[in-house]
Structure 1
Amino acid sequence: MKMIVTGLRKIESWVVTVAIIANVSGAFVLLALVAIMNVDVVSRNIFNAPFRGVVEVVIFSLALIVFLQLPDVVRTGRLTRSDGFLGLVRSRSPRLGGVLARILDGIACIFMCLIVWTVWPEFTESFESCHFFSQPDFGPAPTGNIWADFKTGLARCDYFGTPGILQAPWWPVRLVIAFGCAWAAILFFFKTALGDSQGPHHVTAQSSGEV
Structure 2
Amino acid sequence: MTVLQPLCWFVRQLSACFDRIAILANAVGTLTVLGLVAVMNMDVVARGAFNAPFHGAVELVIFAMVLIVFLQLPDVVRVNRLTRSDGFLLMLDLRAPTTAFVLRRLIDAVACIFMAIVAYASWPEFIDTLESCSYFTAPDFGPPLTGDLITDLRAATARCDYFGTPGVFTAPWWPARLAITASAGLCAILYLFKVILGGQPAGGSHGSR
Superposed CA RMSD in Å reads 1.2
The match for 1:63 is 66
Asked if 1:48 corresponds to 2:55, the answer is: no
Match of 1:79 among 69, 82, 85: 82
Q: Is the 8 A contact 1:19 1:71 kept in 2?
A: yes
Match of 1:131 among 122, 134, 155: 134
In the alignment, the residues of structure 2 paired with residue 86 and residue 69 of structure 1 have an alpha-carbon distance, to the nearest angstrom, of 26
How far does residue 200 in structure 1 lie from its aligned partner after superposition?
A: 6.5
TM-score w.r.t. the length of structure 1 is 0.92
In the alignment, the residues of structure 2 paired with residue 87 and residue 200 of structure 1 have an alpha-carbon distance, to the nearest angstrom, of 14
Asked if 1:113 corresponds to 2:120, the answer is: no
Match of 2:25 among 19, 22, 25: 22
- For structure 2, the residue ranges without an aligned partner over 5 or more in a row are none
TM-score w.r.t. the length of structure 2 is 0.93
Counterpart of 1:2, as a letter, is Q
* Aligned partner of residue 159 in structure 2, secondary structure: coil
* Aligned partner of residue 155 in structure 1, secondary structure: helix
In the alignment, the residues of structure 1 paired with residue 134 and residue 107 of structure 2 have an alpha-carbon distance, to the nearest angstrom, of 41
Q: Is the 8 A contact 1:132 1:142 kept in 2?
A: no
* Aligned partner of residue 164 in structure 2, secondary structure: strand
* Aligned partner of residue 142 in structure 1, secondary structure: coil
The match for 1:195 is 198
Q: Structure 1 pair 115/30, CA: closer, same or farther in 2 (3 Å)? A: same
How far does residue 86 in structure 1 lie from its aligned partner after superposition?
A: 1.6
Q: Which moved more, 1:117-126 or 1:77-86?
A: 77-86
In the alignment, the residues of structure 1 paired with residue 36 and residue 92 of structure 2 have an alpha-carbon distance, to the nearest angstrom, of 42
* Aligned partner of residue 143 in structure 2, secondary structure: coil
Q: Is the 8 A contact 1:105 1:189 kept in 2?
A: yes
